[in-house]
Structure 1
Amino acid sequence: MIYKVNIISTNNKRIEIPFKRFEYPNLMELIVDTYFEDIGECLGRGLCGTCHVKLQSGSINDRIEPVEKETLTNLYNSETNSRLACQIMLDEKINNMTFKIITENKINT
């Protein structure tokens, strides 16, 4: 089955990306492979915050792991709808959801 996810780029362009369940390890890999190259400095370990996205439509009820929670807490622009794309699995739960890529991800010191 083919699903889709909508990505709002850094220049506010909306892109619909089709995907198959578990086609990539996570949403970050899908975004990097199909559109945006400069995210994921920690290679998907949830440590750097460069794959910060904000959920614009829908809701993810999956538990946020402690590493992701700590990284998001340290981002100055993190909100309740913030997630790390490297921690979002590609499955039917994110079908038709919209995520906005956030590039100004300064860590609070």
Structure 2
Amino acid sequence: MENIIEIEIEDRDGSTQKIEVPTDMNLSLMELLKATNYEVLATCGGIALCATCHVQIKSGAENLSEPQEQELDMLDTLPDADDDSRLACQLWLKNENDGLKIKIKGALQ
């Protein structure tokens, strides 16, 4: 289907799951994770102020938007952030993201 993509999510315990995602609903990756019952605090509500939705992009980073300054500043505060780190609240899922693979890294509390 034209407006359905599949992404692979690796949880903190190493378990993985593939999820089909509608792209015509304008969901952020954070909203998807919360809607599919992954433990993501998202304390700030998705405005890049808490970093509890920290994810590692395992594959598909080339099809994501570039991080903005506020996201980069927040990632700089994390001891386990690296070049593959992003905040899920800042990633809006589009058709180009089919095949995206991520690992959840954000804090549980």
Greater mean alpha carbon deviation, residues 10-19 or residues 31-40: 31-40
| 1:58 counterpart residue number | 60
Q: 1:24 Cα shift?
A: 4.6
Greater mean alpha carbon deviation, residues 21-30 or residues 70-79: 21-30
Using a 3 Å threshold, how does the CA distance of structure 1 residues 76 and 47 change in structure 2: closer, same or farther? same
Using a 3 Å threshold, how does the CA distance of structure 1 residues 67 and 22 change in structure 2: closer, same or farther? farther
Tell me if structure 2 keeps the 8 A contact 1:7–1:99: yes
Return 5+ residue gaps in structure 1 as ranges: none
Amino acid at match of 1:91: K
SS of equivalent to 1:74: coil
1:87 aligns to 2:90 (yes or no)? yes
Amino acid at match of 2:50: C
Tell me if structure 2 keeps the 8 A contact 1:28–1:39: no
TM-score (structure 2 length as normaliser): 0.87
d(CA) in 2 for partners of 1:22, 1:81: 26
| 2:31 counterpart residue number | 29
Q: 1:81 Cα shift?
A: 0.3
Work out the number of aligned pairs and report it. Answer: 105
Q: CA RMSD in A?
A: 1.6
Identity of aligned residues (%): 30
Return 5+ residue gaps in structure 2 as ranges: none
d(CA) in 2 for partners of 1:62, 1:44: 16
Amino acid at match of 2:66: R
SS of equivalent to 2:17: strand
